[in-house]
Amino acid sequence: MTRNTSKLKKTLQNLFLACLNATLILVFLCLLTAYFAFKKVEGISIAFAQNLVSISPLVDEVSAFNTTMIDLKEEVELLRQSPGANRGASSYQLEARLDKIQASIDDFNESVRKISNAPTKLIDHAIDKAALELKTGINEIRSCSPPTSTEPLSGTVSN
């Protein structure tokens, strides 16, 4: 009887050690996957922050250009209103060109305002991209074939 209990005890001990080893291996794999996921998210967040920083000088530049254009329009208006000014075709052409430039600046300003007022779209896009890369990385780790669809997960970002 003691021999059977000793075999049973040894078998249970070996079973416990095997379960412990399997658990430790699974914990290691989970930690490794989390590490790679956080590295990807960190890289995407750094790129996202750099993109936001690069928008700020652009907005300042456009504001300065806009101010210059307003000054030019005022000068053209002064030339137009001054007595004895030559109101030839060249002044009208200049005014038409300035109007075109002003319209394009207004369109650009509107698009910059949309981007700066709706950072959630940029964040959603970054999260979708990170999720897609994470999904692809996990599939590569598992040696599975990649998915056939590369649509964003949230569906909030439209091209």
pLDDT at 137: 73
Distance CA 26, CA 31 (A): 9
The answer, yes or no, to whether residue 153 has pLDDT greater than 60, is no
Nearest-angstrom CA–CA distance, 122 and 112: 13
Q: For residue 13, what pLDDT is reported?
A: 94
Check: pTM over 0.75? Answer yes or no.
Answer: no
3-state secondary structure of 55: helix
Whether 22 contacts 83, CB under 8 Å: no
**What is residue 25's predicted lDDT score, i.e. its pLDDT?**
95
Question: Tell me: the pLDDT tens digits for 78-127?
Answer: 767 765 555 565 667 677 777 877 777 787 777 777 776 666 776 777 77
Distance CA 83, CA 88 (A): 14
Question: Which phi and psi angles does 50 have, rounded to 5°?
Answer: -65, -35
**What pLDDT does residue 16 have?**
94
Segments making up each domain of the chain, as ranges: 2-117
